[in-house]
A and B are shown apart, each in its own frame.
Chain A
Amino acid sequence: MTKQLAEKSIGELAPLLESKEVSPVEVTEAVLKQVETYNEQTNAYIRVDAEDAQTSAKIAESEIMKGNYKGKLHGIPMALKDIFYVKDKVVTMGSKIHKDFKPSYSATVVEKLAEAGVIFTGTLNMHEYAWGGTNNNPHFGPCRNPWDLEKIPGGSSGGSGAAVAADMTIASLGTDTGGSIRIPSAVCGIVGLKPTHGRVSKHGVFPLSWSLDHAGPMTKTVTDAAILLEYIAGFDPKDPTTIDRPVTSYTTGLSEDLKGMVIGVEEDFYLTNLQPGVQELFDKAIETLKTLGAEIKPIKIPSLKNAHYAEMITVLAEASAIHHTNLKRRPEDFGKDVRLSLELGEIPSAVEYVQAQQIRYKIKQEFQEIFKTVDTILAPTLPFTAPTIGQEITIINNQELKVSDELIRLQSPANLTGLPSISVPCGLSENMPVGIQFIGNAFDEQMIIKAAYAFESTNPMEGRKPQLDGVVERV
């Protein structure tokens, strides 16, 4: 029963908690048991706050017993990426430099979750300062993929991906600058939602690249992502990048029918250099979406050929500005790969940065035109399944490609444009999860959630979950 509770989603647990059939104490104990059993293998948590969680669970239990049920997140145990500020608690950003950092305030999203009754179980591993996609962390050790412990869980929110997949948290939040929510979601077989830039506050979230960063849900189901987004979305006067647009109910109107929905598929950029297994599952997903009633429409977005350059120049420059002082004063305290990226970011000229922003403008315009004719755009989340820990080169279609580049290649357009994107599992290739992403029009998270929900309802994973003894089992 304990394990079964930890396996449940927010959508499944909420009615059980509301009806007092299950107590927040039981759910929290179930999750902490999973952490105790599997954290040594996965290294998903940086810090486990078991006592605090148990205390909060008892308070939540008492509140619910008295009839003061707050809503769907009340009594739900959750661990967050170690980049969200929690007042007076150590937040490391996966770094040595911030290993003892205690913020004097909490992130707006943390405050919102706390107010909703979430029980925080600890902080989750991540790529140092979110500057990378492998989560091979030199200070806290590599996080490992629960589907295969020799593989990366993706990054930078790799701890969130691994913990959600291994039922070591019911759900999580991650951040996404070049795919850091969607990459771990795809390779860990979970759902990751990068909302529109400005939809969710980043106040109290340590930045990697101001203009590309997003915070969003990483969950077991599309419904859970929608539930979490309802709680964390909205204008925040403390974050100058949030935009005052109405937050709709993302959980209403979900159906298994996509009749009338037009889905754009762009081939030149998104369908180049895919592993055969990924291509096969993507093609299968298209057929499934047609069966659900969607119309598939070929589209062209010519400026995408410059997206990777614009992403790289922007994130390199902005990240190096953020870490400039520490790079000068204590460079040896950064991990090797992050130090290299920060050094690299000091070199490109201001002209190159401005040109990157010109490219972004052009890409935005082309996406805006496309969204006059389609409701959403479908693409693979990644061109491959999870690489091995430490692997730097991958070979696809006889081409040697850099793992670090391939991790972000298909992600960057949604970061450059700020458009929402949701990654949802579409099956297994050689026993490792593969994801597809739906990209939406600005502030139209509802559309991509609707598409992802309908697709998910066809059960593309056939109920398979990672088994930490290395066997993929149907549950």
Chain B
Amino acid sequence: MKDYLYLTSQLKGLPIAKENYDLLEERLTELEKMRVSVDELELDDRNMVLVNIPTGGK
């Protein structure tokens, strides 16, 4: 995970603080745990809250 974080930060030019790597790994692991039940939903082509509403015109 730390390698992934390091690679991502290098690719994106993000100055991640060295002391934050452990905490970021911990927080990302927590998010991944929450994702288990999200994957179970098999969301795929389900609708989402973002909608494209054109504005302007007459």
Which residues does A use to contact B, with CB under 8 Å?
211, 240, 305-306, 308-309, 312-313, 327-328, 331, 339-340, 343-344, 346-348, 352, 354-355, 357-362, 364
Contacts and interface: CB of A to CB of B under 8 A. Distances in A.
Contact of A358 (B23, B34, B46, B55): B46
B14 A344 contact: no
Given A340-B24, A343-B24, A347-B8, A361 B14 contact: no
A306 B43 CA distance: 12
A357 B49 contact: yes
Contacts of B28: 344, 347
Nearest to A337: B23
Contact of B17 (A308, A313, A339): A339
Nearest to B53: A240
Interface in B23-40: 23-24, 27-28, 31, 34-35, 37-38
A328 B24 CA distance: 17
Contact of B14 (A327, A340, A355, A360): A327
21 contacts: A306-B34, A306-B38, A309-B35, A309-B38, A312-B34, A327-B15, A328-B14, A328-B15, A331-B17, A339-B17, A343-B9, A343-B16, A346-B8, A347-B28, A352-B35, A354-B48, A354-B50, A357-B50, A359-B41, A360-B49, A361-B48
Given A339-B20, A358-B46, A306 B37 contact: yes
B15 A331 contact: yes
Contacts of B9: 343, 346
A15 to B, nearest CB: 44
A371 B57 CA distance: 35
A335 to B, nearest CB: 12
Nearest to A360: B49
A347 B5 contact: yes
Contacts of B24: 340, 343-344, 347
A364 B50 CA distance: 12
Contacts of B8: 346-347
A344 B13 CA distance: 14
B27 to A, nearest CB: 5
Contact of A360 (B15, B20, B34, B48): B48
Given A309-B35, A343-B24, A348-B31, A357 B12 contact: no
Contacts of B43: 355, 358-359
B52 interface: no
A358 B48 contact: yes
B7 to A, nearest CB: 11
A51 B6 CA distance: 52
Q: Give the top 5 A-B pairs by smallest Cβ distance, nearest first.
A: A357-B48, A309-B34, A360-B49, A358-B48, A358-B43
Contacts of B15: 327-328, 331
A305 B23 CA distance: 24
Could you say which of A211, A347, A355, A357 has the most chain B C-beta atoms within 10 Å of its C-beta?
A347
Contacts of B17: 331, 339-340, 343
Contacts of A361: 46-49
A362 B55 contact: no
A445 B5 CA distance: 44
A312 B31 contact: yes
A355 B16 contact: no
Contacts of A309: 31, 34-35, 37-38
Contacts of B27: 340, 344
Nearest to B40: A306
A347 B34 CA distance: 16
Given A305-B37, A346-B8, A361-B46, 13 more contacts: A211-B49, A240-B55, A312-B31, A327-B14, A328-B14, A340-B23, A354-B50, A355-B43, A357-B49, A357-B50, A358-B46, A359-B43, A361-B47
Contacts of A364: 49
Contact of A306 (B5, B13, B41): B41
